[in-house]
């Protein structure tokens, strides 16, 4: 009788162990899928680099509204130099804020700043074939003395972020 009880107990442990292994396999598969999703999202982020080796950069926390954009030496590891276009055509920082313009942003010389992402026209940007980042108003982002501001689009190297 003792052997039968021992055998039943061992069988119970084996069944419970097999179920736990199956559960863990499912958990591992889910973790792997999440990791792959994160990697795909990371691939969508990129740096915008000028011919002089300077990159578009948030001058502070890339998730905070009001942070100015600057051009600084490119650093592949700098999260505040990582950007992606979202489905609404906004240029979003790695921190989740969107590139917009100070003031009404309709005039050349407006400083580029981070804003909370929304539907404002100053947050819609495109990268054209010449590598310029331009808005719907026909102004381009250009680096001027380390600051990033709008200017009429031209063939100038300080507007070629592509």
pLDDT (tens digit per residue) in 10-19: 555 555 555 5
pLDDT tens digits, one per residue of 76-112: 999 999 999 999 999 999 999 999 999 888 889 999 9
Per-residue pLDDT, 25: 74
pLDDT tens digits, one per residue of 37-69: 544 554 589 999 999 999 999 999 999 999 999
Across the range 146-150, mean pLDDT stands at: 97
pLDDT tens digits, one per residue of 119-132: 988 999 999 999 99
Name the percent of the chain in helix, strand, coil, to the closest 5: 30, 30, 40
Using CA atoms, how far apart are residues 61 and 53, in angstroms rounded to an integer? 22
pLDDT tens digits, one per residue of 22-32: 557 776 666 66
Spatial neighbors of 82 by CB under 8 A, at least 6 apart, are 45, 46, 47, 62, 93, 94
């Amino acid at each position: 009788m003792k052997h039968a009880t021992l055998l039943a107990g061992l069988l119970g442990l084996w069944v419970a162990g097999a179920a736990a292994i199956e559960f863990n396999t499912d958990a591992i598969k889910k973790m792997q899928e999440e990791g792959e999703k994160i990697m795909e999202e990371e691939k969508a982020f990129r740096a915008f680099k000028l011919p002089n080796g300077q990159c578009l950069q948030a001058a502070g926390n890339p998730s905070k509204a009001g942070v100015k954009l600057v051009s600084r030496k490119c650093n592949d590891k700098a999260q505040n130099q990582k950007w992606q276009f979202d489905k609404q055509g906004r240029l979003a920082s790695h921190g989740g804020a969107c590139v917009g313009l100070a003031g009404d942003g309709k005039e050349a010389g407006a400083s580029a700043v981070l804003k909370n992402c929304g539907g404002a026209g100053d947050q819609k940007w495109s990268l054209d074939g010449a590598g310029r980042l331009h808005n719907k108003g026909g102004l381009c982002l250009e680096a001027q003395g380390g600051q990033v501001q709008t200017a009429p689009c031209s063939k100038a190297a300080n507007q070629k972020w592509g």
